[in-house]
Amino acid sequence: MEVVVLEIEDPSCFWVIMKGCGPYIVDEIDYKNLNAEMNQFYDKLYKDVDEVKSLMVEEGQICVVFSEELKCWCRAVIKSVMQCTDHYQIECFLVDYAKYVFVKSKDIRVAPEAFMQIPYRAKKCRLYRTKPLTLHINFFENSAKMVPAKRWDSAATQYFQNLLKASTEMKAKLCAVEGNTFDIWLYVSIQDEKVCVNDDLVSKNFAHFEETKENTGSSEDYQENQTSLNLESLPVKIGDPALAFRPVLFQEKMPPNLETGLAVSSSLLEETCQRSSTDLNENTVSIIKAVPDLPVKENVAGHTDRLQQFLKSDPVKTPTSEDDQQSFQDVSEERKFILLSNKIEPWSVLETAPLLDDLKKELTRKKFLGPNFTESYCWPPVARGCDLVAISYQGDDPFLYIPPIITILQLESCYTALPRRNGPLALILCPGWKKAQLVFDLLKTYERCSRWLHPMLIILGQNKEEARSVNIQGCEVIVTTPYSLLRLFERHSSLFCRLCHLVLDETEVLFSDAKEQVFTILHCYKKRVNIEEREYSPQHIVAVGTHWNKHLAHLIKEFMNDPYIVITATEEASIYGNVQQVVQPCTNSERTAVLLKILDFTHSHLQKVLIFTNSVYEAEMVHKVLKSSSISSLKIHTESKFNLKYVLEQWTKKYRPGTHVVLVLTDDCVQSLGITDATCVIHFSLPSPGAFGQRLLCMSDNFCDVIKDSSVDQERAKSVVLLPEDNACHALGILRYLQHTEAEMPPGLHDFIAKMLEAEEEKKFLRPLCTYLKTFGICKNRTVCPDRHKINLQIDVPQSIPDKMIQVPQYVTILPLHIVNATNYFGRIVGGQKDQYAILAEEMNEYFKQPNNKISVKKVEKLAFYGLCEKTFFHRVQVVEISQKEEENLFFNVKIKYIDEGRTSQVQSYHLLHLPARFQCLPPQAVEFIVCRVKPIDNEIEWNPKVTSYINKKIKGKLHEAKIIQTLGNTAWVDPMVRVTRLPDLKISVNEYDVRSEILSTSLGIDNPEHKTQLHKLCRNMEVSDYAQKTESLSIKEDTAGPESASKPQNMSVPQNPTENCNSSEITSGNNPSEGVAQAKKAEDSTLRQHKCFYPEIKWFQNEETVTVKVGIANTTDCKYEFSKQKVVFSACSGDKLYLADMELYQDILTEKSTCVIKDKEAVLVLAKEEKGAWCKLLKSKNPHVSFDFEHWEDFEKKSPFPLGTKKVDYNTAVTPEFDDSEDSETESDE
């Protein structure tokens, strides 16, 4: 019969769906009908819950619960009952879906007998007669053997999971039924090959077949293989005095006469790694930089012991004639690597790891699949109280230290000598509040497996009183950030009195963003522990991260005591190993000449050089070039005539000092050769990111120890990269790594890097504008950020912001409806006398009040517009995502966006209503608002939820007056944003609060004066063709054409009345001017290539008779200006830049009475109005470089028609001072 796997715990416990015919099999249609009947039954009785509510709850009880994930009622079995403060938390197993869910006791429903007639859909299975094996090492008897186990190794479980995941078809043969468990033979099809899973696990020594009564006398197939352990001595050393108080649990058990070392027989190591962990597979390589007195044997033929390993699963054997015919391993196949400063016995299996039993049970219950490769080496030193520095690709995972930290904190006898005062035993420093929250949640989850630790998450703002109110009494673990800890330390001087364990999480980020604060904390910690009273107390520092940092060397030398260094990232190990990185820019045609120059040896030491190429052709070509230049070399690749045995013999021969051994090879040969003693690697061809680390690994024997000072002048291993400037494939990633290593870059390479970064940015041209750039004015991780950091005219043209709403001085009334974070909101711009959306909403509600108009959509289409009812209000929504899996069902979930509010949600498809075309004409009204000039404290890149929650309660659904200072696409930047309260009886308005000031008052936000400056820089690059096309007529004096002969500017504004002339294309895109923008951009590009012109910053003000325009250009030369009735054209030079302003005026002027005055830092144009009165704006079309000058707002303002909210001048007296202050602050910060 065919089966489908639902859930896997191990080969003795997994759940499947059985398909076909049989006594235990029910058709899927019957389950769907049952599900529909259950949903209808319980949904109908939701008002009479007492009729179906379970009065008794106990383990093993069959019931019905509602699954939030599946969105339906499900049959379940109660697995456990946990008592909480005011209710019982029930853990249930969904018997038809093989899922665990948690519900409250009040949500348990009685299961009627009618719903229990059909067998459970999820069948619990186990492999027939297949029992687990594990490797048992007896150090006392000096032997190792495979023995039956009660539980499956994590490696066996992972292999079983991977095998089923890779299969295309699964079938089972039912052999027996015991209780609710089915014993089966399981068969899978993988790449047209059928495999019996039971036999496969036995053949891999993961399992053995359980003997039946008839075969108990036979033992030939199940004999135990014992292997002698020939071990070399390694002195055992206790790095911490507190280790003397450790129980036997954490101390290595070995007799005095047993020596530990590295030379373990290959057969045993091969079996060990197969059993120990998923990560310790047949491609694992482990390298130890052992203590100086460790004897190391050399096996020239096979390189088995020369790698200085204590853990190697597939040692390279001495090549034979059969080996020469083998295909080389694919370099993409993962190869595990580890660099250790001291020997560590890994805890590869959770069952045997010396952690708390309850903690191991909880980890197992949570489906924890570790310890993974890195965790297996990090846990032992942490649990023993030894200092640790771990650098790994998974270095940001808190599980590297949390389980052993929880375990060591249970040893209360270690802390008896500490003073009896308030203060934590452990301190975990995280780079930001988000990571700190994650670590704290994990501690709370696993804290119940140990004695009560009272962990605290402390994130403090700049308010000193907040730190004073923190109570740390009884707290034994604090999770915080460096900045928050120092603020706390100012008010709690005894914070470090009892501190024993200090954890630095994500060290590369901590040292990058808070280096001074981290070292201040380290000095305080060192000062406290280096006193006589703390001599026998633990002194424990753990530092984990993803990248090696130069500050780690200082941390190890100054603050750690003989730390364990664990590095599982090859690239980072080369930095720790002090490998010299050399960059040689060249063209493709110059590579061979540069290579020969590098190989002009003058060294007196033995040099072993590897030259890596990317193809057989390149390898052959390089070999011929070396041969023609009288340089003796070896070569090997997949088509090489030289066999593997010969190359290894030549490479491993003993040579005299001054000899130079050169080997040309391709990446697919690296793992087969197993070379680790090269002194130099030359990258003739740029490697892929995965292959670069493998190449560096070939020099691992020559990695230096940058921590320990050595009197011997050891020559550094060298990595030379030939960087072809005409081939950028993989170059950017390599260059980022070289910059991380602080390698010396040739002067000309910086321009090359800039060009590559520019090319990478061009690839993101259709991506959204970076959120961090919009919110804070800067993106810290620009090189790896997936979003765009430049203006795209086709995307960034204002969309949902009517032109009439952002006229100078750009005051509008906004209504925030969806709060993303403290400074980022979605909402609507509320119109003045006639709010189009208010009219539309009223018409929609009237329309859908008629029952006949509520027509459910039969076929849901992506990006289409529909109606949706929420309580008594109807919204316009757009479908943005439909799950392919759910689309096959009759009712399914869809992801929608409320186009007039900006929020997204998941709804059932049948809730969507047909939306008539007349309700789709009005473009989406949701606008993204960003409050300027404020950012989170402590170099954070995301707002603390406390601030977001506070602002959400403060502003959501309330009208605010704001000044829009910039618009791009559907985003408007506002500064200030003020809540105005109107007092109609007194005919005045009062500024209730300023949103930016409210954020600052939380003490979790600070001033960001560069925000506006960065926005202006961003928008300064925004090309506008209407003035670029004028350059030629004004920049060359000999041209006689006037400004009237130039082409008229493109009108890129949104139509004044968006409801007019609506059609289907407008409904879908909502962006009418995109075609005109593209044409304008094309015309502008050709002009700007010839004339590097810039648009100057312009401010203007007016009185009843004149308009004064100030053009901000310092040290102007060659000024020209042209006045016409409806237009002013001004150009000037400053330094090597040409500035041009072509202004099509809002109303007519008198050219004969208009004048221009040139000053030191600006040019002043005084334009005489043809008709007296107020201009509501300077130009017919808006321009980001033109703004109103509020410093010259005279008494004439009382007659100004500038819109402010829904009224014009009723509350000018209240709002105007607030805006003026903002303008002043803006001017000061910009300077």
Q: How far is it, in rounded angstroms, from Cα 1124 to Cα 1130?
A: 12
1153, 1168 Cβ separation under 8 angstroms: yes
The per-residue pLDDT for range 541-580, each reduced to its tens digit, is 999 999 998 899 999 999 998 899 999 998 899 899 889 9
Residue 84: the pLDDT is 67
Question: How many Cβ atoms from other residues are within 10 Å of residue 145's Cβ?
Answer: 16
In a 10 Å sphere around its CB, with 0-12 CB exposed, 13-18 middle and 19+ buried, how is residue 760 labelled?
middle
Q: How far is it, in rounded angstroms, from Cα 102 to Cα 87?
A: 12
pLDDT for 139 beyond 90: no
pLDDT for 721 beyond 80: yes
pLDDT for 405 beyond 90: yes
User: Given pLDDT bands bounded at 50, 70 and 90, which one contains residue 960?
Assistant: very high
pLDDT for 435 beyond 80: yes
The residue-averaged pLDDT of 785-794 equals 86
Q: How far is it, in rounded angstroms, from Cα 811 to Cα 1216?
A: 11
User: Given pLDDT bands bounded at 50, 70 and 90, which one contains residue 1193?
Assistant: low
The residue-averaged pLDDT of 183-209 equals 88
Structure tokens at 513: 């963003």
The residue-averaged pLDDT of 113-133 equals 88
The per-residue pLDDT for range 633-690, each reduced to its tens digit, is 899 988 875 678 888 888 988 888 888 899 999 988 888 888 999 999 999 988 877 7
User: Given pLDDT bands bounded at 50, 70 and 90, which one contains residue 897?
Assistant: very high
User: Given pLDDT bands bounded at 50, 70 and 90, which one contains residue 1207?
Assistant: very low
Q: Over the chain, what is the mean pLDDT?
A: 76
Q: How far is CA 401 from CA 277, 373, 434, 543, 1150, in A?
A: 19, 14, 18, 9, 78
The residue-averaged pLDDT of 478-485 equals 95
pLDDT for 1046 beyond 80: no
The residue-averaged pLDDT of 523-533 equals 84
The residue-averaged pLDDT of 1044-1060 equals 33
Look at 423 and 799; give whichever has higher pLDDT: 423
Residue 45: the pLDDT is 67
In 105-212 the beta strands, taken as DSSP E runs, fall at 123-127, 130-138, 143-148, 169-178, 181-190, 193-196, 207-209
The residue-averaged pLDDT of 384-388 equals 91
Q: Write the secondary structure of 656-691 as one string of H (helix), E (strand) and C (coil).
A: CCCCEEEEEEEHHHHHHHCCCCCCEEEECCCCCHHH
The per-residue pLDDT for range 235-277, each reduced to its tens digit, is 333 333 333 333 333 333 333 332 323 232 333 323 333 333 3
* Sheet with 501-504: strands ordered across: 287-288, 339-340, 564-567, 388-391, 540-545, 501-504, 426-429, 477-480, 456-458
Residue 232: the pLDDT is 31
Residue 212: the pLDDT is 59
pLDDT for 309 beyond 50: no
Express as a percent the part of the chain with pLDDT over 90.
25
Phi-psi region of 777 (alpha: psi -120 to 50; beta: other; left: phi over 0): left
Q: How far is it, in rounded angstroms, from Cα 699 to Cα 721?
A: 15
The per-residue pLDDT for range 1146-1168, each reduced to its tens digit, is 889 998 888 888 877 788 899 99
The residue-averaged pLDDT of 448-456 equals 84
The per-residue pLDDT for range 325-373, each reduced to its tens digit, is 333 333 333 457 888 888 888 988 888 888 888 898 889 888 888 799 9
- Cis amide linkage into residue 585, ω under 30° from 0: no
pLDDT for 58 beyond 60: yes
pLDDT for 1068 beyond 50: no
477, 500 Cβ separation under 8 angstroms: no
User: Given pLDDT bands bounded at 50, 70 and 90, which one contains residue 832?
Assistant: low
Residue 300: the pLDDT is 30
* Sheet with 1186-1188: strands ordered across: 1149-1158, 1163-1169, 1106-1112, 1097-1102, 1186-1188
Alpha helices in 121-186 (DSSP H): 154-166
| Continuous segment of H or E residues that includes residue 972 | strand 971-983
User: Given pLDDT bands bounded at 50, 70 and 90, which one contains residue 1022?
Assistant: low
Look at 375 and 145; give whichever has higher pLDDT: 375
User: Given pLDDT bands bounded at 50, 70 and 90, which one contains residue 285?
Assistant: very low
Structure tokens at 275: 């059993």
The per-residue pLDDT for range 1093-1130, each reduced to its tens digit, is 788 889 988 888 899 999 988 877 778 888 888 889 98
878, 861 Cβ separation under 8 angstroms: no
Backbone angles phi, psi at 1218, to 5 degrees: -65, -40
Placement of tokens 């200090």 in the chain: 502
The residue-averaged pLDDT of 98-118 equals 84
Q: CB under 8 Å to 838, separation ≥6 — which residues?
A: 831
Q: How far is it, in rounded angstroms, from Cα 768 to Cα 759?
A: 17
Residue 1089: the pLDDT is 38
Residue 1202: the pLDDT is 39
207, 151 Cβ separation under 8 angstroms: no
Which has the closest alpha carbon to 540: 126, 802, 242?
A: 242
Top mean-pLDDT range of 939-948, 1008-1017, 1055-1064, 1203-1212: 939-948
pLDDT for 1214 beyond 60: no
| Continuous segment of H or E residues that includes residue 321 | helix 321-324
pTM of the model: 0.61
The per-residue pLDDT for range 6-37, each reduced to its tens digit, is 899 899 999 998 887 777 788 888 888 888 88
Residue 683: the pLDDT is 92
pLDDT for 289 beyond 70: no
The residue-averaged pLDDT of 278-306 equals 35
User: Given pLDDT bands bounded at 50, 70 and 90, which one contains residue 48?
Assistant: low
CA angle 832, 833, 836 (to 5 degrees): 80
The residue-averaged pLDDT of 1129-1152 equals 86
pLDDT for 387 beyond 50: yes
How large is the C-alpha radius of gyration of the chain? 37
